Structure 1
Amino acid sequence: MAINKEWHRSHRMPPKATREQRIAWHAAHKAACGCRDVPASIRADVMKLLRSHRKP
């Protein structure tokens, strides 16, 4: 998938991001851009967060 430059410009990963911040950022990234895979170390948590935001 191509990079969404506008999204990346307006959604910077915070410096020294906490695990929770990284999970939230990667969940938003996957929904808006998806130019790369979610890191394996947080993938399960990101997918759980994305599933919880889905509408039935």
Structure 2
Amino acid sequence: MALNREWHRAHRMPLQATREQRIKWHVAHAAACACRPVPDSIKADVEKLLKLHGKT
């Protein structure tokens, strides 16, 4: 999938993001852009939130 530059400009990952911030960012990213895969270290948590919100 192509990079959604506008989304990335408007939704920067916080510096020294906490695990929760990273998970929430990647959930939003998967819905808006998904130009790269979710890191394995948080993939299960991201998938769980996506399922809870009916986005998978």
Give the TM-score normalised by the residue count of structure 2: 0.95
Identity of paired residues, percent?
71
Q: Which residue of 1 aligns with 2:37?
A: 37
User: What does residue range 2-13 of structure 1 map to in structure 2 within 5 Å?
Assistant: 2-13=2-13
* Structure 1 segments of 4+ aligned residues over 3 angstroms from their partners: none
Aligned residues: 55
Backbone CA RMSD of aligned residues: 1.0
Q: Which residue of 2 aligns with 1:48?
A: 48
For structure 1, list consecutive stretches of 5 or more residues without a partner in the other structure.
none
Q: Which residue of 1 aligns with 2:19?
A: 19
Distance 1:5 1:21 in 2: 20
Distance 2:38 2:25 in 1: 10
